[in-house]
Amino acid sequence: MSRTWRVMLIDDEESARKLLRAGIHWESLGMEVVGEAASGIEAINVIDDLKPDIAFVDISMPFMDGIEFTETVTGRYPHLIIIIMTAIDQFEYARKCVSLPVYEYMLKPMVRADVTEILKKVREKLDREKDRWEETSAEEETSLPEEDNPTELIRRYVEQNFADSKLNLTFLAQRFGFSPSYLSRKFKQDTGKNFVEYLAELRMEEAIRLAGSGAKMFSTAAAVGIPDPNYFSRCFKKYTGKSYSEYTAQRSGGEADS
Protein backbone atom coordinates (compact mmCIF):
# COMPACT_ATOMS: atom_id res chain seq x y z
CA MET A 1 0.00 0.00 0.00
CA SER A 2 1.46 3.35 -1.01
CA ARG A 3 2.17 5.96 1.60
CA THR A 4 0.12 9.14 1.96
CA TRP A 5 2.54 12.07 1.78
CA ARG A 6 2.12 14.84 4.35
CA VAL A 7 1.85 18.49 3.28
CA MET A 8 2.30 21.69 5.29
CA LEU A 9 1.18 25.16 4.17
CA ILE A 10 3.22 28.11 5.45
CA ASP A 11 1.88 31.55 4.55
CA ASP A 12 0.98 34.60 6.64
CA GLU A 13 -2.15 35.14 4.53
CA GLU A 14 -4.93 32.90 5.82
CA SER A 15 -6.89 33.34 2.58
CA ALA A 16 -3.96 32.02 0.56
CA ARG A 17 -3.67 28.95 2.78
CA LYS A 18 -7.40 28.26 2.55
CA LEU A 19 -7.35 28.63 -1.23
CA LEU A 20 -4.45 26.22 -1.61
CA ARG A 21 -5.96 23.73 0.82
CA ALA A 22 -9.34 23.76 -0.91
CA GLY A 23 -8.17 24.13 -4.50
CA ILE A 24 -6.12 20.95 -4.86
CA HIS A 25 -7.46 17.39 -4.93
CA TRP A 26 -4.91 16.19 -2.38
CA GLU A 27 -6.36 12.72 -1.87
CA SER A 28 -6.14 11.85 -5.57
CA LEU A 29 -2.45 12.80 -5.42
CA GLY A 30 -1.81 10.50 -2.50
CA MET A 31 -1.33 13.48 -0.16
CA GLU A 32 -2.98 15.17 2.79
CA VAL A 33 -2.59 18.64 4.30
CA VAL A 34 -1.59 17.94 7.90
CA GLY A 35 -1.17 21.49 9.12
CA GLU A 36 -0.60 25.16 8.49
CA ALA A 37 1.52 27.97 9.90
CA ALA A 38 1.22 31.74 9.57
CA SER A 39 4.97 32.41 9.85
CA GLY A 40 8.33 30.71 9.65
CA ILE A 41 8.66 30.90 13.44
CA GLU A 42 5.32 29.15 13.96
CA ALA A 43 6.32 26.51 11.42
CA ILE A 44 9.59 25.81 13.24
CA ASN A 45 7.65 25.29 16.47
CA VAL A 46 5.15 22.80 15.06
CA ILE A 47 7.11 21.01 12.34
CA ASP A 48 8.32 18.24 14.66
CA ASP A 49 4.71 17.34 15.46
CA LEU A 50 3.43 17.60 11.90
CA LYS A 51 6.32 15.75 10.24
CA PRO A 52 5.60 17.03 6.71
CA ASP A 53 7.14 15.56 3.60
CA ILE A 54 6.27 18.64 1.50
CA ALA A 55 6.08 22.31 2.52
CA PHE A 56 4.61 25.19 0.52
CA VAL A 57 6.43 28.26 1.85
CA ASP A 58 5.55 31.89 1.13
CA ILE A 59 8.71 33.89 0.53
CA SER A 60 7.46 37.04 2.28
CA MET A 61 6.46 36.55 5.93
CA PRO A 62 7.09 38.54 9.14
CA PHE A 63 9.67 37.51 11.77
CA MET A 64 11.13 34.72 9.59
CA ASP A 65 10.67 34.86 5.83
CA GLY A 66 10.64 31.95 3.42
CA ILE A 67 14.35 32.08 2.70
CA GLU A 68 15.29 32.19 6.39
CA PHE A 69 12.90 29.31 7.08
CA THR A 70 14.42 27.29 4.25
CA GLU A 71 17.96 27.97 5.49
CA THR A 72 16.94 26.84 8.98
CA VAL A 73 15.12 23.62 8.10
CA THR A 74 17.04 22.17 5.19
CA GLY A 75 19.95 21.06 7.34
CA ARG A 76 17.64 19.46 9.87
CA TYR A 77 15.11 17.97 7.45
CA PRO A 78 17.18 16.91 4.42
CA HIS A 79 14.28 15.04 2.80
CA LEU A 80 11.71 17.85 3.09
CA ILE A 81 10.45 18.99 -0.31
CA ILE A 82 10.17 22.80 -0.24
CA ILE A 83 8.10 24.71 -2.78
CA ILE A 84 8.58 28.48 -2.52
CA MET A 85 5.60 30.71 -3.32
CA THR A 86 6.39 34.23 -4.51
CA ALA A 87 4.76 37.24 -6.13
CA ILE A 88 6.10 38.47 -9.46
CA ASP A 89 7.60 41.61 -7.90
CA GLN A 90 9.68 39.41 -5.56
CA PHE A 91 11.30 37.47 -8.38
CA GLU A 92 14.81 38.82 -7.82
CA TYR A 93 14.51 38.12 -4.10
CA ALA A 94 13.39 34.58 -4.89
CA ARG A 95 16.57 34.01 -6.88
CA LYS A 96 18.42 33.87 -3.57
CA CYS A 97 16.81 30.47 -3.16
CA VAL A 98 18.89 29.11 -6.04
CA SER A 99 21.71 28.23 -3.66
CA LEU A 100 19.26 26.43 -1.36
CA PRO A 101 17.80 22.94 -1.88
CA VAL A 102 14.38 24.25 -2.96
CA TYR A 103 12.47 21.86 -5.22
CA GLU A 104 10.51 24.54 -7.09
CA TYR A 105 9.22 28.06 -6.78
CA MET A 106 5.84 29.16 -8.09
CA LEU A 107 4.43 32.57 -8.86
CA LYS A 108 1.35 33.83 -7.06
CA PRO A 109 -1.50 33.65 -7.78
CA MET A 110 -0.88 29.99 -8.46
CA VAL A 111 -2.80 28.04 -11.08
CA ARG A 112 -4.39 24.79 -9.91
CA ALA A 113 -3.23 22.82 -12.95
CA ASP A 114 0.37 23.98 -12.48
CA VAL A 115 0.37 23.09 -8.79
CA THR A 116 -1.09 19.67 -9.56
CA GLU A 117 1.58 18.95 -12.19
CA ILE A 118 4.35 19.91 -9.77
CA LEU A 119 2.84 17.72 -7.05
CA LYS A 120 2.63 14.73 -9.40
CA LYS A 121 6.38 15.04 -9.98
CA VAL A 122 6.98 15.43 -6.25
CA ARG A 123 4.95 12.30 -5.52
CA GLU A 124 6.96 10.31 -8.05
CA LYS A 125 10.19 11.51 -6.47
CA LEU A 126 9.03 10.67 -2.95
CA ASP A 127 7.71 7.26 -4.00
CA ARG A 128 11.06 6.39 -5.63
CA GLU A 129 13.02 7.40 -2.55
CA LYS A 130 10.70 5.88 0.08
CA ASP A 131 12.39 2.48 0.29
CA ARG A 132 15.86 4.02 0.35
CA TRP A 133 14.87 6.34 3.21
CA GLU A 134 13.51 3.43 5.26
CA GLU A 135 16.70 1.47 4.78
CA THR A 136 18.83 4.46 5.77
CA SER A 137 16.72 5.10 8.87
CA ALA A 138 17.00 1.45 9.93
CA GLU A 139 20.79 1.52 9.57
CA GLU A 140 21.03 4.77 11.49
CA GLU A 141 18.85 3.40 14.27
CA THR A 142 20.97 0.32 14.80
CA SER A 143 24.18 2.36 14.85
CA LEU A 144 23.05 4.80 17.53
CA PRO A 145 25.28 5.02 20.60
CA GLU A 146 23.80 3.21 23.56
CA GLU A 147 23.95 5.63 26.44
CA ASP A 148 22.36 4.95 29.82
CA ASN A 149 20.18 8.04 29.89
CA PRO A 150 20.89 10.95 27.57
CA THR A 151 17.51 12.47 28.33
CA GLU A 152 18.60 14.26 31.49
CA LEU A 153 21.44 15.96 29.64
CA ILE A 154 19.05 17.02 26.90
CA ARG A 155 16.50 18.28 29.42
CA ARG A 156 19.14 20.48 31.05
CA TYR A 157 20.18 21.83 27.67
CA VAL A 158 16.58 22.68 26.80
CA GLU A 159 16.01 24.38 30.16
CA GLN A 160 19.00 26.60 29.47
CA ASN A 161 18.21 27.30 25.80
CA PHE A 162 14.43 27.29 25.39
CA ALA A 163 14.56 30.98 24.46
CA ASP A 164 16.24 30.03 21.17
CA SER A 165 13.47 30.34 18.58
CA LYS A 166 15.13 27.74 16.35
CA LEU A 167 15.24 25.05 19.04
CA ASN A 168 13.28 21.93 18.18
CA LEU A 169 13.56 18.14 18.31
CA THR A 170 15.54 17.76 15.10
CA PHE A 171 18.05 20.41 16.18
CA LEU A 172 18.63 18.51 19.44
CA ALA A 173 18.86 15.17 17.67
CA GLN A 174 21.64 16.48 15.46
CA ARG A 175 23.42 18.14 18.36
CA PHE A 176 23.42 15.02 20.55
CA GLY A 177 23.96 12.42 17.83
CA PHE A 178 20.59 10.68 17.62
CA SER A 179 17.94 10.29 14.99
CA PRO A 180 14.84 12.45 15.64
CA SER A 181 12.57 9.40 15.79
CA TYR A 182 14.77 7.67 18.38
CA LEU A 183 15.10 10.80 20.49
CA SER A 184 11.36 11.42 20.35
CA ARG A 185 10.60 7.92 21.67
CA LYS A 186 13.37 8.05 24.27
CA PHE A 187 12.27 11.45 25.57
CA LYS A 188 8.63 10.33 25.89
CA GLN A 189 9.67 7.10 27.56
CA ASP A 190 11.87 8.83 30.15
CA THR A 191 9.74 11.89 30.91
CA GLY A 192 6.16 10.88 30.16
CA LYS A 193 5.84 13.92 27.88
CA ASN A 194 6.57 14.38 24.23
CA PHE A 195 9.29 16.91 23.46
CA VAL A 196 7.00 19.52 21.93
CA GLU A 197 4.83 19.53 25.07
CA TYR A 198 7.88 19.82 27.29
CA LEU A 199 9.34 22.75 25.35
CA ALA A 200 5.97 24.51 25.25
CA GLU A 201 5.55 24.10 28.99
CA LEU A 202 8.96 25.64 29.71
CA ARG A 203 8.21 28.58 27.43
CA MET A 204 4.73 29.19 28.77
CA GLU A 205 5.76 28.98 32.43
CA GLU A 206 8.41 31.62 31.76
CA ALA A 207 5.84 33.66 29.84
CA ILE A 208 3.49 33.50 32.84
CA ARG A 209 6.29 34.71 35.09
CA LEU A 210 7.07 37.62 32.79
CA ALA A 211 3.38 38.47 32.37
CA GLY A 212 3.06 38.61 36.15
CA SER A 213 5.85 41.18 36.24
CA GLY A 214 3.98 43.40 33.79
CA ALA A 215 6.14 42.75 30.73
CA LYS A 216 4.67 43.70 27.36
CA MET A 217 3.53 40.80 25.21
CA PHE A 218 6.00 41.39 22.35
CA SER A 219 8.85 41.47 24.85
CA THR A 220 7.72 38.27 26.56
CA ALA A 221 7.18 36.51 23.23
CA ALA A 222 10.74 37.24 22.13
CA ALA A 223 12.14 36.29 25.54
CA VAL A 224 10.64 32.80 25.44
CA GLY A 225 11.64 31.93 21.88
CA ILE A 226 8.36 32.70 20.08
CA PRO A 227 8.95 36.15 18.54
CA ASP A 228 5.85 35.93 16.34
CA PRO A 229 3.27 37.67 18.61
CA ASN A 230 0.26 36.14 16.87
CA TYR A 231 1.52 32.61 17.35
CA PHE A 232 2.67 33.41 20.89
CA SER A 233 -0.77 34.77 21.71
CA ARG A 234 -2.43 31.54 20.58
CA CYS A 235 0.03 29.42 22.55
CA PHE A 236 -0.45 31.51 25.70
CA LYS A 237 -4.24 31.33 25.56
CA LYS A 238 -4.17 27.59 24.90
CA TYR A 239 -1.91 27.04 27.93
CA THR A 240 -3.52 29.44 30.41
CA GLY A 241 -7.09 29.73 29.16
CA LYS A 242 -6.71 33.52 29.06
CA SER A 243 -5.35 36.02 26.59
CA TYR A 244 -2.12 37.75 27.56
CA SER A 245 -3.92 41.05 28.24
CA GLU A 246 -6.54 39.29 30.36
CA TYR A 247 -3.84 37.57 32.37
CA THR A 248 -1.79 40.70 33.01
CA ALA A 249 -4.91 42.67 33.93
CA GLN A 250 -5.93 40.00 36.38
CA ARG A 251 -2.47 39.83 37.94
CA SER A 252 -2.34 43.62 38.35
CA GLY A 253 -5.66 43.62 40.17
CA GLY A 254 -7.70 44.89 37.24
CA GLU A 255 -10.90 43.30 36.10
CA ALA A 256 -10.88 41.14 33.01
CA ASP A 257 -13.52 39.16 31.27
CA SER A 258 -12.99 35.41 31.41
Q: 16-67, pLDDT tens digit by residue?
A: 999 999 999 999 999 999 999 999 999 998 998 899 999 999 988 888 888 8
Q: What is the pLDDT of residue 99?
A: 66
Average pLDDT, the chain: 86
Residue ranges covered by each domain of the chain = 5-139, 144-258
Flag whether pLDDT at 147 surpasses 60. Answer: no
Helix (H, G, I), strand (E, B) or coil at 225: coil
Q: What is the pLDDT of residues 221-238, one digit of tens each?
A: 999 999 999 999 999 999
Buried residues in 9-47 as b, exposed as e (16+ CB within 10 A): bbbbeeebbebbeeebebeebebebbbbbbbbbbbbbbb
pTM score, whole prediction: 0.71
Ranges of H-type helices in 96-216:
112-142, 151-161, 169-176, 180-191, 195-212
Residues 6+ apart with CB under 8 A from 237: 243, 244
The band of 258, judged by pLDDT with boundaries at 50, 70 and 90, is very low
Of the candidate CATH numbers 1.20.120.10, 1.10.760.10, 1.10.10.10, 1.10.10.60, the domain formed by 144-258 belongs to 1.10.10.60
Please state, for a pLDDT cut of 90, what percent of the chain lies above it: 55
CATH superfamily of domain region 5-139? Response regulator (3.40.50.2300)
Instruction: Determine the average pLDDT of the residues in 69-98.
Output: 79
